[in-house]
Structure 1
Amino acid sequence: MRIVDTADVVYASRSFRLVDYRCPEAEPKQLLPEGTFRLPTVVFPRRGVFFKHQGSRAFLCDANHVLFFDAGEPFRISYPVEGGDDSTFLSISPELLAGIVSGPGAGPEVRAERFPAAYALSDAGLYLAHRALLGRMGRVAPADPLEAEERMIGLVGSAIAVSRRAEEGRRSPVRRETRRAHQDTAAAAMALLAVGPERPIGLERLATAVGVSPFHLCRLFKRETGLSVHRYRNRLRLREALERLMEPATDLTSIALDVGFSSHSHFTDAFRREFGASPSEARRKATVAGLAALRRRLVA
Protein backbone atom coordinates (compact mmCIF):
# COMPACT_ATOMS: atom_id res chain seq x y z
CA MET A 1 0.00 0.00 0.00
CA ARG A 2 1.58 3.25 -1.17
CA ILE A 3 1.58 6.29 1.12
CA VAL A 4 4.03 9.17 1.49
CA ASP A 5 3.57 11.35 4.56
CA THR A 6 5.32 13.52 7.13
CA ALA A 7 4.29 14.59 10.62
CA ASP A 8 6.18 17.63 11.91
CA VAL A 9 5.75 18.27 15.63
CA VAL A 10 5.25 22.02 15.94
CA TYR A 11 4.69 22.09 19.70
CA ALA A 12 4.75 19.46 22.46
CA SER A 13 4.25 19.53 26.22
CA ARG A 14 2.70 17.28 28.86
CA SER A 15 -0.77 18.57 28.01
CA PHE A 16 -0.65 19.48 24.30
CA ARG A 17 0.79 18.30 21.02
CA LEU A 18 0.45 20.21 17.73
CA VAL A 19 1.41 18.40 14.53
CA ASP A 20 1.55 19.61 10.92
CA TYR A 21 0.65 16.47 8.94
CA ARG A 22 1.19 16.29 5.18
CA CYS A 23 0.39 13.36 2.91
CA PRO A 24 1.03 14.37 -0.71
CA GLU A 25 0.69 10.84 -2.03
CA ALA A 26 -1.63 7.97 -1.04
CA GLU A 27 -3.13 5.08 -2.93
CA PRO A 28 -6.82 5.82 -3.52
CA LYS A 29 -9.70 3.57 -2.48
CA GLN A 30 -7.58 1.50 -0.10
CA LEU A 31 -8.11 1.29 3.67
CA LEU A 32 -4.98 2.26 5.56
CA PRO A 33 -3.99 0.14 8.58
CA GLU A 34 -5.92 0.77 11.79
CA GLY A 35 -4.58 3.61 13.90
CA THR A 36 -5.25 5.42 17.16
CA PHE A 37 -4.27 8.68 18.87
CA ARG A 38 -2.73 8.33 22.32
CA LEU A 39 -4.41 11.55 23.46
CA PRO A 40 -7.82 13.05 22.54
CA THR A 41 -7.17 14.83 19.25
CA VAL A 42 -8.91 17.44 17.12
CA VAL A 43 -8.04 17.27 13.41
CA PHE A 44 -8.38 20.26 11.08
CA PRO A 45 -8.07 19.19 7.41
CA ARG A 46 -6.56 21.90 5.21
CA ARG A 47 -6.32 20.19 1.83
CA GLY A 48 -7.60 17.04 0.19
CA VAL A 49 -10.49 14.70 0.97
CA PHE A 50 -10.58 11.42 2.88
CA PHE A 51 -12.91 9.15 4.85
CA LYS A 52 -12.61 8.37 8.54
CA HIS A 53 -13.86 4.80 9.11
CA GLN A 54 -15.13 4.15 12.61
CA GLY A 55 -16.96 0.89 13.22
CA SER A 56 -19.55 0.49 10.47
CA ARG A 57 -19.66 4.21 9.64
CA ALA A 58 -17.51 6.29 7.31
CA PHE A 59 -17.33 10.07 7.75
CA LEU A 60 -16.32 12.36 4.90
CA CYS A 61 -13.49 14.74 5.80
CA ASP A 62 -12.41 17.82 3.86
CA ALA A 63 -11.34 21.40 4.56
CA ASN A 64 -14.91 22.28 5.64
CA HIS A 65 -14.74 19.85 8.57
CA VAL A 66 -13.26 19.50 12.02
CA LEU A 67 -12.83 15.95 13.34
CA PHE A 68 -12.68 14.57 16.87
CA PHE A 69 -10.78 11.43 17.91
CA ASP A 70 -11.08 10.06 21.44
CA ALA A 71 -7.94 8.66 23.07
CA GLY A 72 -7.36 5.08 21.97
CA GLU A 73 -10.29 5.14 19.54
CA PRO A 74 -9.50 2.79 16.62
CA PHE A 75 -10.02 4.25 13.16
CA ARG A 76 -8.96 3.72 9.57
CA ILE A 77 -8.50 6.22 6.76
CA SER A 78 -9.15 5.90 3.03
CA TYR A 79 -8.77 8.35 0.16
CA PRO A 80 -11.41 8.41 -2.61
CA VAL A 81 -8.96 9.99 -5.06
CA GLU A 82 -5.22 10.56 -5.40
CA GLY A 83 -3.59 13.51 -3.72
CA GLY A 84 -3.62 12.69 -0.01
CA ASP A 85 -4.26 15.50 2.46
CA ASP A 86 -2.70 18.19 4.65
CA SER A 87 -4.13 18.40 8.16
CA THR A 88 -3.38 19.83 11.58
CA PHE A 89 -3.50 17.50 14.60
CA LEU A 90 -4.12 19.15 17.98
CA SER A 91 -3.93 16.71 20.90
CA ILE A 92 -4.94 17.61 24.45
CA SER A 93 -4.67 15.77 27.77
CA PRO A 94 -7.81 13.92 28.95
CA GLU A 95 -7.87 16.00 32.12
CA LEU A 96 -8.00 19.29 30.23
CA LEU A 97 -10.58 17.92 27.80
CA ALA A 98 -12.79 16.92 30.73
CA GLY A 99 -12.77 20.50 31.99
CA ILE A 100 -13.80 21.84 28.56
CA VAL A 101 -16.52 19.26 27.93
CA SER A 102 -17.98 19.52 31.43
CA GLY A 103 -17.90 23.30 31.55
CA PRO A 104 -16.86 25.81 34.21
CA GLY A 105 -16.86 24.59 37.79
CA ALA A 106 -16.42 20.91 36.96
CA GLY A 107 -14.74 19.17 39.87
CA PRO A 108 -11.95 16.58 39.72
CA GLU A 109 -14.51 13.77 39.98
CA VAL A 110 -15.87 14.64 36.53
CA ARG A 111 -14.20 12.51 33.85
CA ALA A 112 -15.86 13.66 30.63
CA GLU A 113 -12.84 12.65 28.58
CA ARG A 114 -14.71 11.97 25.35
CA PHE A 115 -15.64 14.43 22.67
CA PRO A 116 -19.39 15.09 22.31
CA ALA A 117 -19.30 14.49 18.51
CA ALA A 118 -17.24 12.67 15.89
CA TYR A 119 -17.15 15.55 13.42
CA ALA A 120 -18.66 18.94 12.58
CA LEU A 121 -18.52 21.59 9.89
CA SER A 122 -16.11 24.35 10.87
CA ASP A 123 -17.13 27.96 10.35
CA ALA A 124 -14.87 30.68 8.96
CA GLY A 125 -13.89 31.93 12.41
CA LEU A 126 -12.76 28.50 13.58
CA TYR A 127 -10.79 27.90 10.39
CA LEU A 128 -8.99 31.25 10.69
CA ALA A 129 -8.23 30.61 14.38
CA HIS A 130 -6.69 27.25 13.51
CA ARG A 131 -4.56 28.73 10.70
CA ALA A 132 -3.42 31.57 12.98
CA LEU A 133 -2.36 29.05 15.63
CA LEU A 134 -0.46 26.87 13.18
CA GLY A 135 1.25 29.92 11.70
CA ARG A 136 2.17 31.26 15.13
CA MET A 137 3.69 28.04 16.35
CA GLY A 138 5.48 27.50 13.04
CA ARG A 139 7.09 30.96 12.99
CA VAL A 140 7.89 31.74 16.62
CA ALA A 141 10.71 29.66 18.14
CA PRO A 142 10.77 28.83 20.90
CA ALA A 143 7.04 29.27 21.50
CA ASP A 144 5.94 30.90 24.74
CA PRO A 145 4.24 27.96 26.55
CA LEU A 146 1.68 30.16 28.28
CA GLU A 147 0.58 31.87 25.06
CA ALA A 148 0.70 28.65 23.01
CA GLU A 149 -1.35 26.58 25.42
CA GLU A 150 -3.89 29.34 26.02
CA ARG A 151 -4.45 29.50 22.26
CA MET A 152 -4.71 25.72 22.00
CA ILE A 153 -7.21 25.25 24.81
CA GLY A 154 -9.28 28.08 23.35
CA LEU A 155 -9.24 26.45 19.92
CA VAL A 156 -10.34 23.07 21.31
CA GLY A 157 -13.14 24.80 23.23
CA SER A 158 -14.27 26.64 20.09
CA ALA A 159 -14.26 23.42 18.06
CA ILE A 160 -16.38 21.62 20.66
CA ALA A 161 -18.81 24.56 20.76
CA VAL A 162 -19.15 24.41 16.97
CA SER A 163 -19.84 20.66 17.13
CA ARG A 164 -22.54 21.13 19.77
CA ARG A 165 -24.30 23.82 17.73
CA ALA A 166 -24.14 21.53 14.70
CA GLU A 167 -25.72 18.64 16.63
CA GLU A 168 -28.54 20.89 17.83
CA GLY A 169 -29.18 22.05 14.26
CA ARG A 170 -29.32 18.48 12.96
CA ARG A 171 -31.98 17.33 15.41
CA SER A 172 -35.20 16.47 13.65
CA PRO A 173 -38.26 14.25 14.22
CA VAL A 174 -37.45 11.92 11.31
CA ARG A 175 -36.95 8.22 11.95
CA ARG A 176 -33.42 6.93 12.66
CA GLU A 177 -33.31 4.94 9.42
CA THR A 178 -34.41 7.97 7.41
CA ARG A 179 -31.87 10.17 9.17
CA ARG A 180 -29.09 7.71 8.39
CA ALA A 181 -30.12 7.64 4.71
CA HIS A 182 -30.12 11.45 4.62
CA GLN A 183 -26.66 11.56 6.21
CA ASP A 184 -25.31 9.07 3.68
CA THR A 185 -26.79 11.01 0.75
CA ALA A 186 -25.39 14.32 2.00
CA ALA A 187 -21.97 12.68 2.52
CA ALA A 188 -22.03 11.30 -1.03
CA ALA A 189 -22.79 14.77 -2.39
CA MET A 190 -20.05 16.34 -0.25
CA ALA A 191 -17.56 13.77 -1.52
CA LEU A 192 -18.36 14.57 -5.15
CA LEU A 193 -17.94 18.29 -4.45
CA ALA A 194 -14.73 17.82 -2.47
CA VAL A 195 -12.84 15.79 -5.07
CA GLY A 196 -13.12 18.62 -7.58
CA PRO A 197 -14.53 21.84 -6.11
CA GLU A 198 -12.94 23.89 -8.88
CA ARG A 199 -14.95 22.05 -11.56
CA PRO A 200 -18.45 23.29 -12.46
CA ILE A 201 -21.31 20.89 -11.78
CA GLY A 202 -25.06 21.38 -12.12
CA LEU A 203 -27.57 20.57 -9.40
CA GLU A 204 -29.41 18.02 -11.53
CA ARG A 205 -26.21 16.16 -12.35
CA LEU A 206 -25.16 16.10 -8.69
CA ALA A 207 -28.58 14.90 -7.54
CA THR A 208 -28.63 12.15 -10.18
CA ALA A 209 -25.19 10.99 -9.06
CA VAL A 210 -26.38 10.50 -5.46
CA GLY A 211 -29.75 9.03 -6.45
CA VAL A 212 -32.28 11.67 -5.36
CA SER A 213 -34.22 14.52 -6.92
CA PRO A 214 -32.66 18.01 -6.99
CA PHE A 215 -35.38 19.32 -4.65
CA HIS A 216 -34.81 16.49 -2.15
CA LEU A 217 -31.04 16.97 -2.28
CA CYS A 218 -31.33 20.69 -1.50
CA ARG A 219 -33.60 20.04 1.49
CA LEU A 220 -31.67 17.19 3.07
CA PHE A 221 -28.25 18.77 2.40
CA LYS A 222 -29.30 21.98 4.18
CA ARG A 223 -30.78 19.97 7.06
CA GLU A 224 -27.65 17.88 7.53
CA THR A 225 -25.00 20.56 7.01
CA GLY A 226 -26.71 23.86 7.73
CA LEU A 227 -25.43 25.08 4.34
CA SER A 228 -26.77 25.17 0.82
CA VAL A 229 -24.98 22.96 -1.70
CA HIS A 230 -23.60 26.05 -3.43
CA ARG A 231 -22.23 27.58 -0.23
CA TYR A 232 -20.61 24.32 0.81
CA ARG A 233 -18.79 24.11 -2.52
CA ASN A 234 -17.75 27.77 -2.29
CA ARG A 235 -16.30 27.24 1.19
CA LEU A 236 -14.07 24.52 -0.20
CA ARG A 237 -12.90 26.87 -2.94
CA LEU A 238 -12.30 29.75 -0.56
CA ARG A 239 -10.33 27.73 1.98
CA GLU A 240 -8.09 26.46 -0.79
CA ALA A 241 -7.69 30.08 -1.92
CA LEU A 242 -6.75 31.15 1.62
CA GLU A 243 -4.02 28.50 1.69
CA ARG A 244 -2.66 29.74 -1.64
CA LEU A 245 -2.68 33.35 -0.47
CA MET A 246 0.12 32.36 1.91
CA GLU A 247 2.32 32.10 -1.19
CA PRO A 248 3.06 35.77 -2.05
CA ALA A 249 4.29 35.05 -5.57
CA THR A 250 0.94 33.66 -6.75
CA ASP A 251 -1.22 36.07 -8.75
CA LEU A 252 -4.69 36.69 -7.27
CA THR A 253 -6.44 36.28 -10.62
CA SER A 254 -4.68 32.95 -11.12
CA ILE A 255 -5.84 31.82 -7.68
CA ALA A 256 -9.42 32.85 -8.49
CA LEU A 257 -9.50 30.89 -11.73
CA ASP A 258 -7.63 27.89 -10.35
CA VAL A 259 -10.07 27.35 -7.49
CA GLY A 260 -13.09 27.67 -9.77
CA PHE A 261 -14.31 31.27 -9.81
CA SER A 262 -15.22 32.80 -13.16
CA SER A 263 -13.53 36.14 -12.49
CA HIS A 264 -11.40 38.08 -10.05
CA SER A 265 -14.40 40.21 -9.01
CA HIS A 266 -16.61 37.18 -8.31
CA PHE A 267 -13.81 35.67 -6.23
CA THR A 268 -13.28 38.91 -4.31
CA ASP A 269 -16.97 39.26 -3.44
CA ALA A 270 -17.25 35.65 -2.24
CA PHE A 271 -14.00 35.88 -0.25
CA ARG A 272 -15.10 39.07 1.49
CA ARG A 273 -18.46 37.53 2.46
CA GLU A 274 -16.73 34.48 3.93
CA PHE A 275 -13.72 35.99 5.69
CA GLY A 276 -14.69 39.63 6.17
CA ALA A 277 -11.86 40.98 4.01
CA SER A 278 -10.81 41.08 0.37
CA PRO A 279 -8.18 38.58 -0.88
CA SER A 280 -5.61 41.39 -1.23
CA GLU A 281 -6.24 42.54 2.33
CA ALA A 282 -6.01 38.95 3.60
CA ARG A 283 -2.70 38.52 1.78
CA ARG A 284 -1.33 41.66 3.41
CA LYS A 285 -2.49 40.29 6.75
CA ALA A 286 -1.32 36.72 6.06
CA THR A 287 0.47 36.73 9.38
CA VAL A 288 -0.52 35.34 12.73
CA ALA A 289 -1.73 38.70 14.01
CA GLY A 290 -3.50 39.44 10.75
CA LEU A 291 -5.42 36.15 10.63
CA ALA A 292 -6.35 36.52 14.29
CA ALA A 293 -7.64 40.03 13.58
CA LEU A 294 -9.80 38.74 10.71
CA ARG A 295 -11.19 36.08 13.00
CA ARG A 296 -12.05 38.67 15.68
CA ARG A 297 -13.81 40.77 13.04
CA LEU A 298 -15.95 37.78 12.03
CA VAL A 299 -17.05 36.92 15.59
CA ALA A 300 -17.52 40.50 16.77
Structure 2
Amino acid sequence: MALVLRNLFQSELLSIRHGVARPAPEDTKELECETADLILLPIAGVLAKHDGPKQHVIANANHAIFLGVGQPYRITFPGDIGDEALVLDFSKEALMQILSEVAGVEQLYVPALRPHCLLPPASVLNRELLWRHLQAPVVDKLAVQEISVSMLMASVQAACVDNRLQERVRQKLTQARRRQQVESVKELLSLYPHQEWALDELARHVHTTPFHLSRVFREEVGLPVHRYLIRTRLAQALRAMQVACTDLTQIAHASGFANHSHFTSSFRSVFGMTPTQSRQRSSML
Protein backbone atom coordinates (compact mmCIF):
# COMPACT_ATOMS: atom_id res chain seq x y z
CA MET A 1 0.00 0.00 0.00
CA ALA A 2 1.24 3.45 -0.92
CA LEU A 3 0.26 5.83 1.89
CA VAL A 4 0.85 9.57 1.92
CA LEU A 5 0.09 11.39 5.20
CA ARG A 6 0.01 15.16 5.54
CA ASN A 7 -0.39 17.13 8.77
CA LEU A 8 -3.20 19.67 8.46
CA PHE A 9 -3.84 20.87 11.99
CA GLN A 10 -2.20 20.71 15.39
CA SER A 11 -3.45 21.97 18.75
CA GLU A 12 -3.49 20.92 22.37
CA LEU A 13 -6.94 19.39 21.87
CA LEU A 14 -6.32 17.37 18.71
CA SER A 15 -4.28 16.91 15.58
CA ILE A 16 -5.67 16.17 12.12
CA ARG A 17 -3.91 14.42 9.27
CA HIS A 18 -4.94 13.90 5.67
CA GLY A 19 -4.16 10.47 4.26
CA VAL A 20 -4.24 9.18 0.70
CA ALA A 21 -3.85 5.42 0.34
CA ARG A 22 -3.46 3.52 -2.90
CA PRO A 23 -3.20 -0.27 -3.26
CA ALA A 24 0.12 -1.60 -4.53
CA PRO A 25 0.99 -4.97 -6.11
CA GLU A 26 3.45 -5.79 -3.32
CA ASP A 27 0.88 -5.33 -0.53
CA THR A 28 1.41 -7.99 2.14
CA LYS A 29 -1.79 -7.23 4.04
CA GLU A 30 0.09 -7.38 7.34
CA LEU A 31 -1.62 -6.49 10.61
CA GLU A 32 -1.29 -2.94 11.90
CA CYS A 33 -1.65 -1.49 15.40
CA GLU A 34 -2.13 2.11 16.48
CA THR A 35 -0.47 3.75 19.47
CA ALA A 36 -3.51 5.95 20.11
CA ASP A 37 -7.27 5.87 19.66
CA LEU A 38 -8.01 7.44 16.28
CA ILE A 39 -11.12 8.39 14.31
CA LEU A 40 -10.87 7.73 10.58
CA LEU A 41 -13.24 9.76 8.39
CA PRO A 42 -13.09 8.63 4.74
CA ILE A 43 -13.73 11.45 2.28
CA ALA A 44 -13.31 9.53 -0.98
CA GLY A 45 -12.87 5.96 -2.25
CA VAL A 46 -13.66 2.81 -0.32
CA LEU A 47 -11.80 0.65 2.20
CA ALA A 48 -12.34 -2.54 4.14
CA LYS A 49 -11.17 -2.77 7.74
CA HIS A 50 -10.48 -6.33 8.90
CA ASP A 51 -10.57 -7.06 12.65
CA GLY A 52 -10.17 -10.83 12.29
CA PRO A 53 -10.90 -13.79 10.02
CA LYS A 54 -14.19 -13.17 8.21
CA GLN A 55 -14.69 -10.00 10.27
CA HIS A 56 -14.55 -6.88 8.19
CA VAL A 57 -16.49 -3.69 7.57
CA ILE A 58 -16.75 -1.57 4.42
CA ALA A 59 -16.37 2.18 4.76
CA ASN A 60 -16.85 5.02 2.31
CA ALA A 61 -17.47 8.74 2.74
CA ASN A 62 -20.65 8.03 4.74
CA HIS A 63 -18.83 6.28 7.59
CA ALA A 64 -16.55 6.75 10.56
CA ILE A 65 -14.05 4.09 11.61
CA PHE A 66 -12.52 3.73 15.09
CA LEU A 67 -8.92 2.55 15.37
CA GLY A 68 -8.31 1.40 18.94
CA VAL A 69 -4.96 1.66 20.69
CA GLY A 70 -3.20 -1.71 20.51
CA GLN A 71 -6.03 -3.34 18.54
CA PRO A 72 -4.72 -5.25 15.48
CA TYR A 73 -6.36 -4.66 12.12
CA ARG A 74 -5.57 -4.54 8.44
CA ILE A 75 -6.89 -2.42 5.60
CA THR A 76 -7.71 -3.61 2.08
CA PHE A 77 -9.19 -1.76 -0.88
CA PRO A 78 -12.13 -3.33 -2.73
CA GLY A 79 -11.88 -2.74 -6.44
CA ASP A 80 -8.31 -1.45 -6.02
CA ILE A 81 -9.67 2.09 -5.80
CA GLY A 82 -7.87 3.18 -2.66
CA ASP A 83 -9.15 5.85 -0.34
CA GLU A 84 -8.68 9.35 1.02
CA ALA A 85 -9.44 10.15 4.65
CA LEU A 86 -9.07 12.54 7.56
CA VAL A 87 -7.49 11.10 10.71
CA LEU A 88 -8.56 12.77 13.95
CA ASP A 89 -6.23 12.23 16.91
CA PHE A 90 -7.60 13.75 20.12
CA SER A 91 -5.43 14.11 23.20
CA LYS A 92 -5.89 11.17 25.57
CA GLU A 93 -7.34 13.36 28.31
CA ALA A 94 -9.80 15.12 25.99
CA LEU A 95 -10.90 11.86 24.37
CA MET A 96 -11.57 10.23 27.74
CA GLN A 97 -13.61 13.22 28.91
CA ILE A 98 -15.67 13.32 25.73
CA LEU A 99 -16.29 9.56 25.67
CA SER A 100 -17.28 9.62 29.34
CA GLU A 101 -19.84 12.35 28.77
CA VAL A 102 -21.26 10.90 25.55
CA ALA A 103 -21.35 7.19 26.33
CA GLY A 104 -19.99 6.57 29.82
CA VAL A 105 -16.86 4.82 28.48
CA GLU A 106 -13.16 5.76 28.45
CA GLN A 107 -11.92 4.16 25.22
CA LEU A 108 -13.11 3.98 21.63
CA TYR A 109 -12.67 0.22 21.36
CA VAL A 110 -15.07 -1.19 23.97
CA PRO A 111 -18.09 -3.53 23.77
CA ALA A 112 -20.46 -0.59 24.35
CA LEU A 113 -19.38 0.91 21.01
CA ARG A 114 -19.36 -0.56 17.54
CA PRO A 115 -15.94 -0.09 15.91
CA HIS A 116 -17.56 1.73 12.99
CA CYS A 117 -20.74 3.64 12.23
CA LEU A 118 -22.86 5.15 9.49
CA LEU A 119 -22.74 8.90 9.97
CA PRO A 120 -25.96 10.93 10.12
CA PRO A 121 -26.39 13.09 6.97
CA ALA A 122 -25.71 16.27 8.97
CA SER A 123 -22.36 14.85 10.05
CA VAL A 124 -21.39 14.03 6.46
CA LEU A 125 -21.99 17.70 5.65
CA ASN A 126 -20.00 18.68 8.75
CA ARG A 127 -17.07 16.60 7.59
CA GLU A 128 -17.03 18.49 4.29
CA LEU A 129 -17.21 21.76 6.22
CA LEU A 130 -14.27 20.64 8.32
CA TRP A 131 -12.31 19.84 5.16
CA ARG A 132 -13.01 23.31 3.73
CA HIS A 133 -11.88 24.97 6.96
CA LEU A 134 -8.66 22.95 6.89
CA GLN A 135 -7.98 24.08 3.31
CA ALA A 136 -8.57 27.77 4.04
CA PRO A 137 -5.59 30.16 3.72
CA VAL A 138 -6.08 31.09 7.39
CA VAL A 139 -7.34 28.20 9.51
CA ASP A 140 -9.97 29.11 12.10
CA LYS A 141 -8.74 27.12 15.12
CA LEU A 142 -11.98 27.43 17.09
CA ALA A 143 -14.12 26.32 14.14
CA VAL A 144 -11.89 23.32 13.37
CA GLN A 145 -11.89 22.21 17.01
CA GLU A 146 -15.63 22.64 17.40
CA ILE A 147 -16.53 20.78 14.20
CA SER A 148 -14.08 17.99 15.10
CA VAL A 149 -15.64 17.59 18.54
CA SER A 150 -19.06 17.53 16.90
CA MET A 151 -17.87 14.80 14.50
CA LEU A 152 -16.57 12.73 17.40
CA MET A 153 -19.81 13.19 19.30
CA ALA A 154 -21.95 12.16 16.33
CA SER A 155 -19.74 9.16 15.57
CA VAL A 156 -19.82 7.88 19.15
CA GLN A 157 -23.57 8.41 19.43
CA ALA A 158 -24.14 6.52 16.18
CA ALA A 159 -21.85 3.70 17.36
CA CYS A 160 -23.50 3.26 20.78
CA VAL A 161 -24.85 -0.25 21.23
CA ASP A 162 -27.19 0.99 23.99
CA ASN A 163 -28.34 4.57 23.44
CA ARG A 164 -29.70 4.71 26.97
CA LEU A 165 -26.10 5.22 28.12
CA GLN A 166 -26.11 8.69 26.60
CA GLU A 167 -29.32 9.67 28.35
CA ARG A 168 -28.10 8.55 31.77
CA VAL A 169 -24.90 10.55 31.39
CA ARG A 170 -26.73 13.60 30.07
CA GLN A 171 -29.05 13.74 33.05
CA LYS A 172 -26.15 14.28 35.44
CA LEU A 173 -25.85 17.96 34.61
CA THR A 174 -28.51 20.44 35.70
CA GLN A 175 -30.03 23.07 33.46
CA ALA A 176 -28.81 25.84 35.77
CA ARG A 177 -25.19 24.74 35.47
CA ARG A 178 -25.46 24.52 31.69
CA ARG A 179 -26.75 28.07 31.47
CA GLN A 180 -24.09 29.40 33.83
CA GLN A 181 -21.34 27.86 31.71
CA VAL A 182 -22.82 29.22 28.48
CA GLU A 183 -23.27 32.73 29.89
CA SER A 184 -19.69 32.73 31.17
CA VAL A 185 -18.40 31.87 27.69
CA LYS A 186 -20.60 34.54 26.11
CA GLU A 187 -19.09 37.03 28.56
CA LEU A 188 -15.54 36.05 27.63
CA LEU A 189 -16.23 36.29 23.91
CA SER A 190 -17.99 39.63 24.34
CA LEU A 191 -15.15 41.14 26.39
CA TYR A 192 -12.31 39.80 24.22
CA PRO A 193 -13.72 39.17 20.70
CA HIS A 194 -10.39 40.01 19.05
CA GLN A 195 -8.60 37.17 20.86
CA GLU A 196 -7.84 33.93 18.99
CA TRP A 197 -9.84 31.53 21.13
CA ALA A 198 -9.60 27.75 21.16
CA LEU A 199 -12.42 25.45 22.24
CA ASP A 200 -10.38 23.66 24.90
CA GLU A 201 -9.22 27.02 26.29
CA LEU A 202 -12.81 28.25 26.65
CA ALA A 203 -13.82 24.94 28.24
CA ARG A 204 -11.09 25.28 30.88
CA HIS A 205 -12.35 28.75 31.78
CA VAL A 206 -15.77 27.32 32.70
CA HIS A 207 -14.46 24.05 34.17
CA THR A 208 -15.97 21.67 31.64
CA THR A 209 -14.95 19.64 28.61
CA PRO A 210 -14.74 20.86 25.00
CA PHE A 211 -17.44 18.40 23.97
CA HIS A 212 -19.85 19.48 26.69
CA LEU A 213 -19.30 23.17 25.98
CA SER A 214 -19.77 22.73 22.24
CA ARG A 215 -23.01 20.81 22.70
CA VAL A 216 -24.70 22.91 25.39
CA PHE A 217 -23.68 26.23 23.80
CA ARG A 218 -25.36 25.28 20.55
CA GLU A 219 -28.45 24.04 22.41
CA GLU A 220 -28.75 27.14 24.60
CA VAL A 221 -27.75 29.86 22.12
CA GLY A 222 -28.76 28.34 18.79
CA LEU A 223 -25.32 28.88 17.27
CA PRO A 224 -22.01 27.05 17.56
CA VAL A 225 -19.35 28.87 19.57
CA HIS A 226 -17.27 29.93 16.57
CA ARG A 227 -20.31 31.40 14.78
CA TYR A 228 -21.28 33.32 17.92
CA LEU A 229 -17.75 34.75 18.08
CA ILE A 230 -17.98 35.86 14.45
CA ARG A 231 -21.32 37.57 15.14
CA THR A 232 -19.76 39.33 18.15
CA ARG A 233 -16.82 40.53 16.07
CA LEU A 234 -19.14 41.75 13.32
CA ALA A 235 -21.22 43.74 15.81
CA GLN A 236 -18.03 45.47 16.98
CA ALA A 237 -16.99 46.10 13.38
CA LEU A 238 -20.38 47.65 12.53
CA ARG A 239 -19.95 50.18 15.31
CA ALA A 240 -16.45 51.06 14.08
CA MET A 241 -17.73 51.42 10.50
CA GLN A 242 -19.83 54.42 11.54
CA VAL A 243 -16.61 56.43 11.38
CA ALA A 244 -16.46 56.84 7.61
CA CYS A 245 -12.74 57.60 7.46
CA THR A 246 -11.66 54.39 9.21
CA ASP A 247 -10.05 51.89 6.84
CA LEU A 248 -11.96 48.60 6.56
CA THR A 249 -8.78 46.52 6.78
CA GLN A 250 -7.92 48.29 10.03
CA ILE A 251 -11.42 47.59 11.35
CA ALA A 252 -11.13 43.93 10.35
CA HIS A 253 -7.87 43.44 12.27
CA ALA A 254 -9.08 45.38 15.31
CA SER A 255 -12.22 43.21 15.44
CA GLY A 256 -10.28 39.95 15.39
CA PHE A 257 -10.51 38.92 11.74
CA ALA A 258 -7.39 37.46 10.15
CA ASN A 259 -7.60 39.68 7.07
CA HIS A 260 -9.91 41.84 4.98
CA SER A 261 -11.07 38.86 2.91
CA HIS A 262 -12.16 36.90 5.99
CA PHE A 263 -13.97 39.97 7.30
CA THR A 264 -15.78 40.53 4.01
CA SER A 265 -16.88 36.91 3.56
CA SER A 266 -18.10 36.69 7.17
CA PHE A 267 -19.93 40.02 6.83
CA ARG A 268 -21.65 38.91 3.63
CA SER A 269 -22.67 35.53 5.06
CA VAL A 270 -24.41 37.20 8.03
CA PHE A 271 -25.77 40.46 6.58
CA GLY A 272 -26.16 39.59 2.89
CA MET A 273 -23.91 42.42 1.70
CA THR A 274 -20.26 43.43 1.84
CA PRO A 275 -18.90 45.98 4.34
CA THR A 276 -18.45 48.46 1.49
CA GLN A 277 -22.06 48.05 0.41
CA SER A 278 -23.18 48.51 4.01
CA ARG A 279 -21.24 51.76 4.26
CA GLN A 280 -22.69 53.01 0.98
CA ARG A 281 -26.19 52.16 2.22
CA SER A 282 -25.61 54.02 5.48
CA SER A 283 -24.29 57.10 3.67
CA MET A 284 -27.55 57.40 1.73
CA LEU A 285 -29.68 57.70 4.90
* Structure-1-length-normalised TM-score: 0.48
* Structure-2-length-normalised TM-score: 0.50
Of structures 1 and 2, the one with the larger relative CO (CA 8 A, separation 6+) is: 1
